[in-house]
Chains A and B, each alone.
Chain A
Amino acid sequence: MNMMPADLRAVYALLLREIKIYFREKERIISILVSPLLFLFVMGRGLSGHSPIAGINYQQFIFPGILCMVILFTAITYGLYIIWDKRLDFLKEVLAAPISRGTLFFGKSLGGMVGAVMESLILLVIGAIFVLPLGPAKILTAFILSVPFSFIMANIGLSIVARMNSMEGFGLVMSFLTWPMFIFGGALFDLSKAGPWLRLAAYLDPFAYCVDLMRWVMFGWGAFPLTLDLTAVVFFCLVSAAWGVFSFGSLQQTR
């Protein structure tokens, strides 16, 4: 697919829409942060679980995972919101526009990325103040990493939703994809001490590499080798984008 200036302008238009709507829906900005904050402050303190790193308590240990959780949930939920667009026929306007499905996909994907990056930035600041003191370099690196992480998760959400037509599927995706990705990703425990089956599940889970990479940044420690994490993130960026372009290619107006 070759991107013409017109396509870039269309991508920018779609992105602009998401940014405007994002800042208009202030309740959503807050509500998305509720469950990660509960995990971080209630479970993190209450469970007082085991931390494999010396000098780091359990609450601090799960902080990188919770940061990635915000990205996972925001981006996938965003993708699923397109079902609403489909139902409300708003999507028709975009589907009928003279832009390719690939352009549409990247516009939507970048839009989802912005929301997820913003949410993770808020949590990053909260965490850096109350949970884990981080230097500017670590905060900046964590922030930069949230961009490809959000891209992967938004792509996954959008690719799935391209094949769905009803809101009932929303619950299914949340219970069968989002939550398992979060649980198996090792956000709340140490994967290096997990059993072989759990490890196998984690190896298949893109979220696990995001969490692990975030731990490398914050603690200089990870359950997987750093190079594996980096390779996996690049790999999942490419694969999820290709999947998204493919799924959007066959997107038709239903009903």
Chain B
Amino acid sequence: MSRLLTLSAIETNGLAKQFGKIMAVDRIDLTVSKGEVFALLGPNGAGKTTFINMLCTLIKPTGGWARVAGHDIVHESLAVRKNIGIVFQEPSLDDLLTARENLCLHCMLYGVPQPETGARIERMLAIVGLDARADDLVRTYSGGMRRRLEIARGLIHTPRILFLDEPTLGLDPASRQAVWSYIQELKAAAKTTIVLTTHYMEEADRLSDRVAIIANGRIKEIGTCEELKNKVGGDMVILKGRIEPEAFAGLDFVKETLREQSGLRLTVREAPRHLKTILDRCPQVEEVRVRRVTLDDVFLKFTGSPMPGENSG
């Protein structure tokens, strides 16, 4: 216990998983601090779920090591599992049981003290707003209700670390908002370390302290949302019209120019201050838009994007 106070929540070193010839996770080194909300952002098939499944001791790594809550994921898998909660990407509720029974079964499997179980179940059901339907079979639940029940289940044994694999995948906007605000509450109140995977940039931006961008099983970039945005370069200036990139040669505040279908996209440091200079260079411009860099831009830049002209492997 005392050892946990001094260690980071998660620590991986060269963690790798190979399926046949495919490196699903290619030597990832990562440290997540206690109480941190950490997002793994990446396209489908990037290796996020495989990485999470290794940390949850569901699959064994083929290389490297990792410690979760201070315990080795291979040799102390039971101790790891006692300290974590998981909300899987695919629904893993028992359809043939009621919500209350699902939670009760979970408490028994996770060794929640018997006298506390009833009260905890009531509290969690109220938090996720399922108290009215608690005794209905999960079979009759909608997708959003299932998701909320899974989150309640992942938390009911008060884990130190919560893994959320695509927590809002397939949810309608209202349910997504509800899940987000709940995760934010959890972060503020319980100081739970949360690792979530997502391919929604907005989700990572809203929830996480730090983000790692994963592609092809490797971490391409890691940092706070702000840091990553700054790495892309500040602001975006989108110009419409017949403009050549050469027009901006020699301007040191223009970090990148990129041809787009109907014009040009510039990455500019302190765009508002330099906007006049930019416009002077292209009198034939038809339309101008300036916006802050979003994680979308970061994502596209670092994952080998679908956009033409850009590439980072």
Residues of A within 8 A of B (CB): 6, 9-10, 12-14, 16-17, 20-21, 24-25, 88-100, 252-253
Contacts and interface: CB of A to CB of B under 8 A. Distances in A.
Contact of A6 (B58, B91, B93, B111): B111
A90 B93 contact: yes
A99 B94 CA distance: 18
Contacts of A95: 58
B92 A253 contact: no
A12 B90 CA distance: 26
B59 A253 contact: yes
A99 B58 contact: no
B225 interface: no
B120 to A, nearest CB: 15
Where chain A touches its partner, the secondary structure class is: helix
B187 interface: no
A252 B81 contact: no
Contacts of B78: 98-100
B302 interface: no
A99 B310 CA distance: 48
B60 interface: yes
Contact of B109 (A91, A92, A99, A253): A99
B111 A21 contact: no
Interface in B19-68: 53, 56-60
Interface in B60-96: 60, 78-79, 81-82, 84, 86, 88, 90-96
Nearest to B56: A96
B180 interface: no
Query: Which of A10, A97, A253 neighbours the largest number of chain B CB atoms within 10 Å of its CB?
Result: A97
Given A252-B59, A253-B58, A98 B97 contact: no
A20 B97 contact: yes
B248 interface: no
A89 B81 contact: no
**9 closest cross-chain pairs (CB), A and B:** A13-B108, A98-B81, A97-B109, A89-B90, A98-B82, A253-B58, A89-B92, A92-B92, A93-B92
A92 B81 CA distance: 12
B105 interface: yes
B108 to A, nearest CB: 4
Given A98-B81, A100-B78, A17 B105 contact: yes
Contact of A21 (B88, B92, B97): B97
B106 interface: yes
B110 interface: yes
B176 to A, nearest CB: 21
B150 to A, nearest CB: 9
Nearest to A254: B59
Interface in B222-278: none
B209 interface: no
Given A21-B97, A96-B57, A12 B108 contact: yes
